[in-house]
A and B are shown apart, each in its own frame.
Chain A
Amino acid sequence: MFSYQKRLQYPVNIKNKDLRMAKLLVTQYGGSNGELAAALRYLNQRVSMPDNIGRALLTDIGTEELGHVEMLQTMIHQLIKDATLDELEEAGLSPHYAEHAKGLFPTDANGVPFTASYFATTGDALADISEDMAAEQKARAVYENLIDLTDDPDVIGPLLWLRQREIVHYARFKELFEYYNKKLKNTNKKVNSDFNNYNNFENMLDMDSNINTPSSIDITNGYLDNMNLDFTNMMMRRMF
C-alpha cells in the first residue's frame, strides 16, 4: 500500500505567475517523458521484475516519481493561480479554462492528453529497464529544454534539481540492467513474467538466498535445466 507524507521532496515557491511557462511545463506532468508516466511506468513494470532487487528499485524510484508529480503539480498551480480570465485567454488557455478552469489536466506541451501507452511495459526485464533508462535520459533532455525557456530563478531551481534526479535514476537503472544482463547471460533464457520462467528466475536470482554464494547459483542452474526437461510434470503439479 501507499501512505502520504505531507511535504514536497524539494521546495517550490514560485512568486510570479507565468502562463506561457505553465503551458510548457505541463509536459513534465502529463507528457510521454513526464513524471506521471515515469511513476506509473515503474510501479506497473515492477510487478514482472524477476527478483527482489528489481522490485525494490522500481518500487522506490516509482514512489519518488510520485513525489515529482506533486512538485510539477505545485509548479503549474503556482504559475496559473493568480491569472485573470483575460490573461488566460491571451495565453491561449481558454480551451483549458473551458474544460478545467484552474484545475490541472495532464497533457504534453501540445495539449495531447496523458495515455496509458506511456507505461511501455513488455514484461521482459531487460527491455523494460532499457525503456526506463531511455525515459530518464529523455526527461533530462526535456528539463534542459525547459530551463532554456525561462529566466525565473523560482522555476529554474526545482527544474535543475529534478534534472539531477533523472541522472541518478538513469545510473541506478543502468546498474540494474547490467546486473540482470550478467546474471542471465549463462542461462540463455528470456527474462519475462511468463508463469514458469517467473518462478524459475525467482529461485535463481533471489538476492537474499542465492547471490552471495556462487555455488548456490550453480545448483539453481541445474535446477533450472531439470525444470525445463520436466516441463509437463511441473505443469501437471501446478494444475492439480
Chain B
Amino acid sequence: MNNNYIYRNNVNLFSPENGYNLGNMFQNLYDQYKDYKPVQLKARSDQERSYLELSRISFAMHEMNLYLDLHPNDQKIQKLFNDYRKMFIDLEKKYEQKYGALTTCSDSLEEMPFNWATTSFPWEGLDV
C-alpha cells in the first residue's frame, strides 16, 4: 500500500500488564523518571483482580486507538486493537454481572435494585 504519511517504524509493544503499570504501551516512548520504578499493581480481592484485568485491556485498547488515529492503515496494530476490544467487551460483561454496571448499557441493570445508583463511585474506592 502506497502511503507517504504512514510511519514505518517497527512498533515494539509492552504486554498489557507491563504497559498498564508503566502508563505506556510503546517501548520506544517509555521514559523513566529518575530512579522511580513504576508500581507493580496487585489485586487484593477477586473484584480487584477482575477490575485490574479489565483496566489493563482497556488501556491497551486505548493506546492502540491513539496510534491508529494517526496510522489508520497499520493492519498489525488494528488487529491488536480488535483483539483487545473483544477481550474488553467480554471482561466488562463478566465484571458487571458480578459487581454492577460500569456503564448504563450494562445488562446488570435489569436486576433490582438499579445498581448504577447503589454501587460506589470511583473516587470512593471499590466496595471491597
Number of B interface residues in the complex (CB < 8 A): 43
Q: Is the CB of B65 within 8 A of A60?
A: yes
Contacts of A171 in B (CB 8 A): 26, 29
Contacts of A9 in B (CB 8 A): 55, 59
Complex partner residue of B1 from A13, A78, A183, A212, CB under 8 angstroms? A212
Contacts of B39 in A (CB 8 A): 153, 157, 160-161
27 chain-A/chain-B pairs, Cβ below 8 angstroms: A4-B103, A6-B101, A6-B102, A6-B103, A7-B102, A7-B122, A9-B55, A9-B59, A53-B72, A56-B69, A57-B69, A60-B69, A64-B62, A70-B122, A147-B36, A156-B36, A164-B24, A167-B30, A167-B31, A168-B66, A171-B29, A175-B7, A176-B70, A179-B5, A182-B5, A183-B5, A212-B1
Query: A103 within 8 Å of B by Cβ?
Result: no
Name the residue among B39, B54, B70, B102 with the largest chain A CB count within 10 angstroms.
B70
Q: Is the CB of B29 within 8 A of A212?
A: no
List residues of B (33-61) whose CB comes within 8 Å of A's CBs.
33, 36, 38-39, 41, 51-52, 54-55, 59
Q: What is the minimal beta-carbon distance from A9 to any residue of chain B, in angstroms?
A: 7
Name the residue among A13, A73, A162, A168 with the largest chain B CB count within 10 angstroms.
A168
- Since A4-B103, A53-B69, A74-B122 are in contact, a sample of 19 more A-B pairs with Cβ atoms closer than 8 Å, ordered by chain A residue number, is A6-B101, A6-B116, A7-B51, A7-B54, A7-B55, A7-B122, A12-B123, A57-B66, A60-B65, A147-B36, A160-B33, A164-B24, A164-B30, A164-B38, A175-B7, A175-B70, A176-B70, A179-B5, A212-B1
Query: A10 within 8 Å of B by Cβ?
Result: yes
Q: What is the minimal beta-carbon distance from B47 to any residue of chain A, in angstroms?
A: 12
Contacts of A73 in B (CB 8 A): 123
Q: Is the CB of A207 within 8 A of B72?
A: yes
A-B contact count (CB 8 A): 113
Query: B4 within 8 Å of A by Cβ?
Result: yes
Q: Interface 1/0s, chain B 55-85, versus A by CB < 8 A?
A: 1000100110111011011000000000000
Query: A96 within 8 Å of B by Cβ?
Result: no
Contacts of B33 in A (CB 8 A): 144, 147, 160, 163
Q: Which residues of B contact A (CB under 8 A)?
A: 1-5, 7, 20, 22-24, 26, 29-31, 33, 36, 38-39, 41, 51-52, 54-55, 59, 62-63, 65-67, 69-70, 72-73, 101-104, 116, 119, 121-123, 125
Q: What is the minimal beta-carbon distance from A239 to any residue of chain B, in angstroms?
A: 35
Query: A95 within 8 Å of B by Cβ?
Result: no
A164-B116 contact, Cβ under 8 Å, with A57-B66, A144-B33: no
Q: How far is the CA of A118 from the CA of B54 in the complex (A)?
A: 34
Q: Is the CB of A70 within 8 A of B123?
A: yes
